[in-house]
Structure 1
Amino acid sequence: MSIAKVEPLTTARALRGPFDYRLPERLGEVGVGTVLRVPFGRRRVLGVVVELAEHSSLPPERLAEPIEALAAGAPAELVRLGLWVAHEYCSTPARGLELVLPPGTASTRGQTGARTRTVVAATEAAAEALSGSSGLGPRQRLALELLTAAGEEAPAERLAAAGVGDNELGYVDAGVVEGAGGPVVERDGARSGVGVDGGVGVDVGVDAGGEAHGEDDGAAG
């Protein structure tokens, strides 16, 4: 079982953290510096992961799960710096951490967007686009070939590692095959077609890392 030790970003000086939260599989990529939205008593607050552990001093059934991981965050070394500043200058961990987080993270109080990644997958039209005289550029063709070979959704960063970047995936909004329609785009679960029949052959979606849910009852420290 993975445990995230979280310092809530609150203004209370009497708070003594960090507090332990049980990490579910959907938050398996959480690390030191990740900003989480967590249940805290009857509230939901933002907090920064300052340490990961395998065990907690409290039984698992008493540990709440984070609601979601946010896009904002800081490298582990900056987290250590923020905590050091708080200790050296007799401030709170929250104030020290706010110094090293992206501007406005704490003031949004949960309005920062959820961590997302773009995933792409070939559709039935991909084979037709590859075999026909579609006018695909070399890298656009490479993108479709990679997606077709994968046979499943692939993170955009995997394509980037193969030399296929944003320019080649620009058909997400503009259309890969000129005059032949556009792709299907999914954002936050809403699907919208931007072309006509005989589309591009690519599905693009945003994976928000799982449905946000959690307990309202307090965290464990």
Structure 2
Amino acid sequence: MGELILIRHGQTEWSLSGRHAGRTDVPLTATGEVTAKALAPRLARHSPVAVFSSPLSRALRTAELAGLIGVRPDPDLMEWDYGGYEGLTAAQIQETRPGWDLWRDGVVPGGPDRPGERLEQVAARADAVLDRIRPLLSDGDVAVVAHGHLARILAVRWLGLDASASRLLGHPHPGTLGFLATEGEQPFIAGWNVP
């Protein structure tokens, strides 16, 4: 049984400043490109049988620089639609909503182009991705290039936990890897935030 390799896209200006970048197509910084290239030797040892990516350019560019071949864009791998919180930092949101927590309180609508998503909606997308990937793991490793919050949700849904348990995982740093595996039939996290 192969492993599911979770790759968080490289650094962007928004990830550097802590801004919520859901659907805004923010490009990689120069540092983000260097970090993505540095993933190539590690990923080459795995030879994934399939590669999926968020269709946003920061994820696709990370996949390209990391040397991944045959990348299939998957809209279910897009980051959480933060609605009215798109582009804001947690501190800015907490100025108007003291004590705000994404996992507990969610987001507010942001208009027709950014209606926002509930945690359950993001979890349903993560479940759909996992349903497509699990059969492929019998042939080897599968790589997924995605975003921070979505990666956390994918990991806890892999474990069979409620999506709200995502708050228990550290936020994956840009340009890092996570490894989701099974032992017998028991899913586990074999690595997290691996540079």
RCO comparison, higher one (Cα < 8 Å, 6+) = 2
Bigger radius of gyration, 1 or 2? Answer: 1
More strand by share: 1
Q: Same fold (TM over 0.5)?
A: no
TM-score interval (norm. to shorter): under 0.3
